[in-house]
Amino acid sequence: MGIGRSFRSDATRYPIEMSDSTSACSGWDNGSCVGTPYCPPRCPRFIDAEGTSLLMRTFEEGDLEPLISMYDCLDDESRTRGIPPKGRESIERWLDNLIDRGWHLIALDDTEVVGHVGIVPATADSPEGLVFVADAYQGRGVGGELLRQLFAYAAAREHDAILLDVARHNRRAVHAFTSVGFAVEHRNIDEVLLSLTMDDPVVTEARLPPAERAS
């Protein structure tokens, strides 16, 4: 089944249509916002370290091509153990499987997808997560914000924990994930298994409206 036919929208769960808010969200300071009952699990507004306004929201059917393009342009250093695969056809097959089985969030700079996090499988109590950021946006806080979005959405969906399987030699990634709250569960020769439970304080903080977060 193709990605377009298998896509399931979150519009009924989070009724605000965020895809129509890209322009409206680019010119206001949300620091004093206390949220509303209709807000998504975490505020979708984010300003990265270079001052670029980004929008974080759930993946939609029309996001497929820009998401493929993001992955197609990743440098080899951003890939680990063959993930994501190379070549548009291989990337589309890989995403087809992920989207069929899980739920996903993206970071947008205008209409360009610059980051992606996801959970697979959607039905698991403790599913596995993934996070990738476009090369030009790495080191700007986008990955950390995407993870906080992931925490907030995972808690709202009543998962128990999130697992991450990271190549052991990728010390930078292991450090980045543990710095935002993940704990090392297991190590072997090739990989490190990390976990974060939904009762962790970092998850509680991720769900706060901007006005209530720690500075």
| CA–CA dist 124, 147 (Å, integer) | 18
Q: How many Cα atoms sit within 13 Å of 82 on the Cβ side?
A: 2
Would 15 be classed as within a structural domain? no
Confidence of residue 25 (pLDDT cuts 50, 70, 90): very low
Tell me, yes or no, whether 52 lies in a domain.
yes
**Residue 180 within a domain:** yes
> What are 62-114's pLDDT values in tens digits?
999 999 999 999 998 888 878 899 999 999 999 999 999 999 999 999 999 99
Q: How many domains does the chain have?
A: 1
Q: In a 3-state reduction of DSSP, which class is residue 27?
A: helix
The CATH code of the domain that includes 173 is: 3.40.630.30
Residue 17 forms part of a structural domain = no
Is 47 a domain residue? Answer: yes
Using N-to-C axis directions, what is the helix angle for 171-179 and 142-156, rounded to 10°? 50
In a domain, 152, yes or no: yes
- Asked whether the beta carbons of 198 and 161 are under 8 A apart, the reply is yes
**Residue 23 belongs to some domain of the structure:** no
Q: What is the pLDDT of residues 133-174, one digit of tens each?
A: 999 999 999 999 999 999 999 999 999 999 999 888 888 888
Q: What is the extent of the structural domain holding 111?
A: 42-208
pTM, two decimals, is: 0.85
**Does residue 11 fall inside a structural domain?**
no
